[in-house]
Each structure stands twice: as C-alpha cells, then as structure tokens.
Amino acid sequence: MKTLKIAVAGLGTVGAGLVKLLSDNAEIIALRAGRRIEVVAVSARDRSRDRGVAIPASVAWYDDAAKMADEAECDVVVEVIGGSDGIARQVVENAIAKGRHVVTANKALLAHHGAALARAAEDKGVLLAFEAAVAGGIPIIKALKEGLAGNVISQVTGILNGTCNYILTTMRETGRDFADVLGEAQALGYAEADPSFDIDGIDAAHKLSILTSLAFGTPVDFASVHVEGIRHVSADDIRFADLLGYRIKLLGIARMTDHGIEQRVHPCMVPVKTPIATVDGVFNAVVAEGNFVGRSIYEGRGAGAGPTASAVAGDIIDIARGSRVPAFGVPAAALKAQGVASIDRRVGAYYMRLSVVDRPGVLAEVAATLRDEGVSVEQMIQPARSPADSVPMVMTLHDTEEAAMNRAVARISALDAVLEQPRIIRIEAL
C-alpha cells in the first residue's frame, strides 16, 4: 500500500517526540499499519534549534504552519502547536478544507470548536482524531469511542491534569503549602510560568468537555463545565483528609443525571481505598461506567513527549489502516445537546473546615445552623485547644444537596465566632 505522508505543525516537545517515535519504531509501525508512514513536512519557527532528533533533508520545512496545512503534499496534518484559536485553528481548518486528515493534541481547540471541526471533517470525508488531547498516552478516547461503544455510558470521571496531581501529591508527601510546591513545580518544568490554565482547572475542564461529548453523544459544551481549581487547597486540608481517610484530587466528573448532564472540575476528597486515590504524581486516570461493562479504569502518564507522541502515533496508524470512526463516535449531525444539570443539584457528602474563636458554644451554633438547613454531621475533628486566637473545626457532612450546603455555609460564615470563609471540599464516593 501507498506510504502515508505526514506533515507536522509544531516541533516542540511533542512534535519532536513524534518525529523520533515514527523514526525509532518505523519497522514495527509499518507492519502494524500495513504501510509505511513518513514525515514529509514540518513547520516550526526556528530551523536551527537542537530538538534531539534528526529531521531528514528530504523533509519540507515551512515557516508558516497554516501554509503547510494548505500546500504540503501530505495525507495527514498533525497539529501540536496548541491554543484554542489563532494558528492552531487555522492549521486544522486549512487541512480539513484541503481534504487532509487531522490528528491533534489540542484540547483547548476541541473544547471550543470540537463540534464544528468534526462537522467540517465529516463534510470533507476526512478523520479528525485527538487521542493525545486527553490523558496523554492512555487510549481513553479510543476506549470510549470503540471499546466501550456497546454501552450506554452513565459517568466518566478522571484525574485529567498532571500538574495539579503532582502538586497535590507533593503537598501530601511533604506537608508543604500550595504556593511553595507550585514554585518548585515551576522550577522543575512540571508547571508553566503562568500556571493558571492548569491550577485553576481550565485544562482539566477542556479535557472533561471532550470526554463528555464522547460519552454522551453531545456537542462539546465547555461553557457548561463548573470549574474550580486547587489554589485554595491548604496543607491543613490535606492533613485533615488524611486523618479522615481521604485523598484530595482534582477530578473532572461528567454524569448523566435526571436533570441533564452534569460537568464539573473541582478538588474532591476520595476515600483512600478507591483505586483513583492512589494515582499519584504526574499520572492521570479515567474511570468510565457503562451499563454492561460496569466500571473500568485507565491509568498512565498524562503528558510529556513520549506518551503524547504515542497517542498521536496511534491515531496516525488508525488512519493508515483505513479507520472511519467519526470524531466523537457518532456522525457530527447526530450529536445532540442535552439539558445542563446545575451543580446546585449535586447530592453528596462534604468536608467543611472552619476557623473559629476558641470559646464554648461555637459548636452548638454551627450545629444548629446545619440542622436548620437539614445538613447532618457525619464526623468531626476539633483539635485540642491551642494558645492561638482561632482553632480549626473540621467536619464531614452526610449526603446533602449542594444548594442546601451553600445556604448553610453562607449562614455559618456570617456567625461572629467564624473567622474566615469556610473551606468546603466535595467528597466523591466513586
């Protein structure tokens, strides 16, 4: 069969990793794909930079990636530039317009324009593939689109951001503060100079919105994701979680509920015995729940040159083999929006940490407020009295509707004896 010709837009860590993979593993890939796969064009600003990989002289260089997508003699354009708009979007749109398949690792692009791009690709009869956009090397996109395709999916949950998981893991292992660990992660290259995309949960929300679309057959709806990051998770919270038998993880949760689809990203306490609780460091994990398969769990490295290149290569091999699976698992025209379930409808347990004046009667006030809102206490930790002016008061609360919890928290925070805004972390049983 004819060689499959690839153009790579972006020669950063991932792009260079892909070129290396396609070269190192060329023989086995040709055998598996049924044809040779060859990089024929690349685009990057600086041609002289050492990328740790040799670009053969026969490869066409383009300064302008969009132009390459438009003009290069290729079957597939790989977009590993990133960003929801600008050049990355232009590359993908140009490639599709010219009838070339697209493989991308770009979650932001898909979160914002996924449904439209899927439609455009379908109209042109080309594939839009993006295994690398979610959970790095773990083939979770393929699992949802193909392996589990016989199931009605009810829920997908995941640790989708390696930076956050690394920070939370390190905070727990060292007892250090968020700001301190973030600084170290930045120094080590695990977090960006501007870390907000990661630590404010936006990156995880991008990925979650893609999983949601695949799981439920809906157009990607990033705007409906409820997003909270990990900035407010304190060393105290992590310590108390340990005492209570939980781990704190930033989870993305997508659920089909009676009120529509719930999509949320926020720090969660998960029981230490659930498999996802021990997924540490830069690892990602996804839990999918189907009506016949039950629960299945996928773990692996969520980022980095190797895992991401592996995912891109898997998509390229699918194309070489003649795959015809639509971008989101069903024809783009069949993607059907569903109602959005507000997070106010969430029913579940909660962790609450208060900072209170150390005097008699405070617990009674707090307890009365919770009772008035129908919130009942499961466990409480009040450390021994201290010479300080304030003491922490920590409790876990039985299953409650979020709206009731919010009312209780508003009233509790208004109590004179409560010194700071209460810290709430949702408990997810999984």
Site residues (vs its own copies, CB under 8 A):
17, 21-22, 24-25, 28-29, 31-34, 131, 136-139, 142-143, 145-152, 217, 273, 275, 278-279, 290-301, 306-307, 309-314, 316-318, 321-325, 329-331, 334
Question: Nearest distance from residue 349's CB to its own copies, in Å?
Answer: 22
* Minimum distance, C-beta of residue 22 to its own copies, in the bound complex (Å): 8
Q: Which is nearer to its own copies, 74 or 287 (CB)?
A: 287
Q: Which residues on adjacent β-strands are paired with residue 396?
A: 351, 379
Angle between helices 235-244 and 162-174 (to 10 degrees): 80
- Write out the H or E segment, with its range, that includes residue 392: strand 390-401
Instruction: Mark the binding-site residues, compressed into ranges.
Output: 9-16, 107, 192
Nearest to 222 by CA among 234, 235, 232, 213: 213
- Could you tell me the smallest distance in angstroms from the CB atom of residue 150 to its own copies? 3
Q: Please, what is the minimum distance in Å from the beta carbon of residue 172 to its own copies? A: 14
- Bridge partners (DSSP) listed for residue 361: none
**Of 2, 98, 145, 207, which residue is the catalytic one?**
207
> In whole angstroms, what is the distance from residue 374 CA to residue 25 CA?
61
The angle subtended at Cα 33 by Cα 31 and Cα 39, nearest 5°, is 100
Structure tokens at 395: 């409790």
| Residue whose CB is less far from its own copies, 25 or 342 | 25
Task: Find the Cα–Cα–Cα–Cα dihedral 203, 206, 207, 209, rounded to 10°.
Answer: 150
Binding-site residue set for L-homoserine: 192
Residue ranges of the binding site for NADPH: 107
Nearer to its own copies, 10 or 326 (CB): 326
Residue 145 CA to its chain's centroid (Å): 17
Q: Quick one: tokens of 346?
A: 């969430």
- Measured distance CA(60)–CA(40) in Å, rounded: 6
336 is catalytic: no
Least Å from the CB of residue 258 to its own copies: 18
| Residue 9 vs 279, nearer CB to its own copies | 279
Residue 413, token pair as written in the block: 């925070």
Q: Which is nearer to its own copies, 87 or 251 (CB)?
A: 251
What's phi and psi for 142, nearest 5 deg? -65, -40
Residues tagged active-site: 207
